[in-house]
Amino acid sequence: MAEHELYFATDAQLRAYKIRKIITQVLLYGFLTLVGLFIILPFWYMIITSFKSTNAFENEELSGKLVLYLNSTNFSFEQFQKVFQGSFNFGSFYLNTVIVAVLSTTFTVVTTVLAAFAFARVNFKGKDVLFTILLGTMMVPGEMMMMTNYQTTVQFGWYNTFAALILVHGVSVFYIFYLRQTFQQIPNELFLAAKVDGYGHFQYLWKCMIPIAMPTIVTILILSLMGAWNAYIWPTLIASGENSVLAKMGISHSMLLVSNGLMKQFTSEFSNDTPARITGSLFATVPLFVFFLIFRKYIMRGISRSGIKG
Amino acid sequence: MDNLEQKTNVEVLPNPDGTMNWDARLASLGISTKKELKTRSHKWIMPEWMKGWIALIPALIFLILFMIYPILNTFIMSFCNNFYWVGNSGSSFVIINYIAGIQNTRASTELSWGIQNYVNVLKDPVFISALGNTGLIVIVSVPLTIIVGLLLAVCLNAIKPLQGFYQTVFFLPYVTNTIALGMVFNAMFSSGPGGLFNMLISIFGVSPQHWLDINASKWNMFVVIVIYSIWNGIAFKILVFMSGLAAIDKQYYDAARIDGSSKITIFRRITVPLLSPQILYITITSFIGACKSYSQIISLFGGGSRDFGGVDKNTWITVVGYIVKLIDSTADSAQGRGAAGCVILLAIVLVITLVQFGVSKTRVHY
């Protein structure tokens, strides 16, 4: 503030400047708060609706007196029982999604680290050509691969199995590219020093490169977990029925994940029960939110640095 | 240590000219130089290229099987006039089948090649409307989202207290499930007088509207699609713009202020040019992303994964929606048409990217 005072000839000018500054700040905060409310509104609506009874919600909608708070007439826990009933089976959705998320993330990270290491540190013939081809495939829309992958996966007998969800889109060129960038920033001298100490390539990867590149690997881990949680098109196509392996053993186990399990409720017996479906949305959102609150720093930094839209 | 000292006792004399014979000296310490390693040691050491391929193979197997081969296969499939996928009966690999001479059409006739799929797709009114819808979504929602995102990022950058708090709030839509929040928007835009949005507009004296149900007009649906696209897409843009703004040197702003430039001039002449790499990046990724809109639209309409609104369930069908419908379809040459749709989508994405890179050469300052 003190610096600015130097620029003004008279007190009146200074006062005008200060007033203008205050008005700007008020407008800024007002605008940001308004947009913030717009961002928050769907979440608030989701939480409030989840705690309403279906009857109260329908009455409010029909009478045009929807309230965005809870009171003694509309409050109820009934929705929380519904999401574990009938075609809504959040226990199974969660279990399947966690299995797929953990296994596919492990698979992704292992293959990505090895491939990025090969591209960044090891010299072999054909490396650059191969890398260019892989980069080129990043331009291609995923639907183009999905078209054939659907047929291949059915051919392999992977229809309605976890393998289809974990292995088919598990390796990502983008992650390999992103981790390779980080690996390449590690100075070559370190590698030579490690070589003098008697480290081989893979020992060097394990003991030096992975610890140094940990922030990037954690980012990949988080993005991959979030991607698995939100995956929709592929799981809907390939695994929206009963698990085919378990079915042979006489166990019926639905393969639905969180997203397509939720989507199914639009056409299930809950199609007219809006609060029940909204509670399903809440159940799909809350784990992601908790995850976000714990890893907020990593997620925001990782996404702004890697620049990826999941 | 003892070992080392014992070995140093072995005397290695300097060369007559006074220089040290390092190979011999190192050998006396038990360290072999490369040459000696080859001649003396019989222990096999894995060559470097082999290590490279071993590290690469796990990723490469899956990349070839599920990425490179599918691209080629889909491309070839799109030129196969009578490809009919019969499900689990050995007929899925177009290339492999063709080479092996396996018949894979329903009528088990010879495969015929040509551009029939492209003709069929481009004649299909559903595909044309999908192209138009996707184009509209791209042209309206992408610039709007970018402008709002840029505006918010600049505003966020101008405040000090609570900046982190607001930034976190604006980031929240990124960490949500598109389907789940689409479902919430579906309820918020319900047609009853007590629908949240209908109540909001009634404050301004507008009567309740049909937004998403089968009685809704196409443009009412579009309003919801655009609002949801903005809500859904804004977080990522703000984050990227904020990281770009943080990198701009404050001296430029001080200099402009001394010159008495107005806020708008500062924004146009300093912020936008210095932020142009981020703007280019966001423009390209969001154009491509919007070309592939799918989940956020079906989640709004609430009729399951094949519903794009309206009576015919195709009102707001997108290109990806058209393709996804054909992937597991059993209709005649459905996969061929789907593949043709994929190739057209790829061409559109490529053209957009090239045009934007062309524009960027004159407009982006690095």
CATH number at residue A293: 1.10.3720.10
Q: Are residues A266 and A199 in the same domain?
A: yes
Look at the block and give the residue holding tokens 């490369």.
Answer: B34
Once rounded to an integer, what is the mean pLDDT over residues A146-168?
87
* CA distances (Å), origin A255, targets A110, A238, A287, B295, B317: 25, 10, 19, 19, 27
| Structural tokens at position B269 | 């002449």
Tell me the nearest-neighbour CA distance from B17 into chain A, angstroms. 29
Number of domains in chain A: 2
Q: Are residues A168 and A294 in the same domain?
A: yes
Evaluate whether A194 touches A204 at the Cβ level (below 8 Å): yes
| Structural tokens at position B171 | 């980031």
B178 vs A60, A230, A236: nearest CB = A230
B230-275: per-residue pLDDT in tens? 999 999 999 999 988 988 888 888 898 888 888 888 888 888 888 8
B50-63: per-residue pLDDT in tens? 888 999 999 999 99
Evaluate whether A216 touches A176 at the Cβ level (below 8 Å): no
| Structural tokens at position B176 | 């949500």
Helix (H, G, I), strand (E, B) or coil at B113: strand
Average pLDDT value over all residues in chain B: 82
Evaluate whether B270 touches B252 at the Cβ level (below 8 Å): yes
Contacts of A173 in chain B (CB under 8 A): 63, 67
Residue A38 has a pLDDT of 93
**Packing angle, helices A274-294 and A214-230, rounded to 10:** 180
Interface of B with A in 331-360 (CB under 8 A): 335, 338-339, 342-343, 345-346, 349-350, 353
Q: Are residues A39 and A91 in the same domain?
A: no
A123 vs B48, B71, B172: nearest CB = B48
Please say if the pLDDT value at position A310 is more than 60: no
Cα(B101)–Cα(B110) distance, integer angstroms: 9
Strands, E assignment, chain A: none
DSSP-derived letter for residue A5 is: H
Cα(A199)–Cα(B10) distance, integer angstroms: 27
Q: Are residues A181 and A264 in the same domain?
A: yes
Please say if the pLDDT value at position B144 is more than 70: yes
Angle at A154 between CA B346 and CA B313, to 5 degrees: 55
Interface of A with B in 275-294 (CB under 8 A): 277-278, 280-282, 284-285, 288-289, 291-292
* CA distances (Å), origin B232, targets A40, B91, B223: 12, 40, 14
B27-49: per-residue pLDDT in tens? 666 666 555 455 555 567 788 88
| Structural tokens at position A268 | 């299930």
Range of the domain at A54: 2-76
* Furthest C-alpha separation in chain A: 89
B192 touching chain A per CB within 8 A: yes
Helix (H, G, I), strand (E, B) or coil at A52: strand
Nearest Cα neighbor of A169 from A119, A228, A117, A222 is A228
Q: Are residues A104 and A127 in the same domain?
A: yes
B304 touching chain A per CB within 8 A: yes
Q: Are residues A10 and A96 in the same domain?
A: no
Residue B3 has a pLDDT of 46
B209 touching chain A per CB within 8 A: no
Domain-ending residue, one of A26, A49, A76: A76
Please say if the pLDDT value at position B187 is more than 50: yes
Residue A2 has a pLDDT of 44
Query: What is the ipTM score, two decimals?
Result: 0.89
Q: Are residues A34 and A117 in the same domain?
A: no
Residue A67 has a pLDDT of 82
- As a CATH number, domain B119-363 is 1.10.3720.10
| Structural tokens at position B202 | 């009634």
Residue A147 has a pLDDT of 87
Cα(B295)–Cα(A59) distance, integer angstroms: 31
Domain-ending residue, one of A25, A43, A76: A76
- Identity of the amino acid at B123: K
| Structural tokens at position B131 | 């192209």
Cα(B109)–Cα(A159) distance, integer angstroms: 28
End-to-end CA, chain A? 42
Contacts of B60 in chain A (CB under 8 A): 115
The pLDDT confidence band at residue B340, using thresholds 50, 70 and 90, is very high
The full set of domain ranges for chain B reads 2-40, 48-114, 119-363
DSSP-derived letter for residue B206 is: P
Cα(A148)–Cα(A211) distance, integer angstroms: 38
Tell me the nearest-neighbour CA distance from A254 into chain B, angstroms. 18
| Structural tokens at position A22 | 């205050």
Are the Cβ atoms of B180 and A281 closer than 8 angstroms?
A: yes
Residue B23 has a pLDDT of 67
B201 touching chain A per CB within 8 A: no
Cα(A59)–Cα(A66) distance, integer angstroms: 8
Residue B25 has a pLDDT of 67
B71 vs A119, A140, A171: nearest CB = A140
- What are the respective helix, strand and coil percentages of chain A, to the nearest 5? 70, 0, 25
Residue B107 has a pLDDT of 47
Q: Are residues A65 and A101 in the same domain?
A: no
Domain-ending residue, one of A29, A61, A76: A76
Cα(A208)–Cα(A205) distance, integer angstroms: 6
Are the Cβ atoms of A281 and B181 closer than 8 angstroms?
A: yes
Residue B347 phi/psi, 5-degree rounding, is -60, -45
| Continuous H helices in chain B | 2-8, 22-28, 34-40, 48-63, 69-78, 94-100, 116-123, 125-158, 163-171, 178-188, 196-202, 218-246, 250-258, 263-266, 272-274, 276-291, 295-301, 319-327, 334-363
Nearest Cα neighbor of B234 from B152, B140, B166, B158 is B152
B167-176: per-residue pLDDT in tens? 999 999 988 8
Exposed, middle or buried, B339 (CB in 10 Å: 0-12/13-18/19+)?
Answer: buried
Contacts of B293 in chain A (CB under 8 A): none
Handedness of CA B164, B167, B171, B172 (dihedral sign): positive
- Identity of the amino acid at B345: L
Interface of B with A in 170-189 (CB under 8 A): 170-181, 183-185, 187-188
Are the Cβ atoms of B195 and A167 closer than 8 angstroms?
A: no
For B51, left (φ over 0), alpha (ψ -120 to 50), or beta? alpha
Q: Are residues A267 and A194 in the same domain?
A: yes
Residue B105 has a pLDDT of 45
Residue B14 has a pLDDT of 65
Q: Which residues are bridge partners to A75 per DSSP?
A: A52
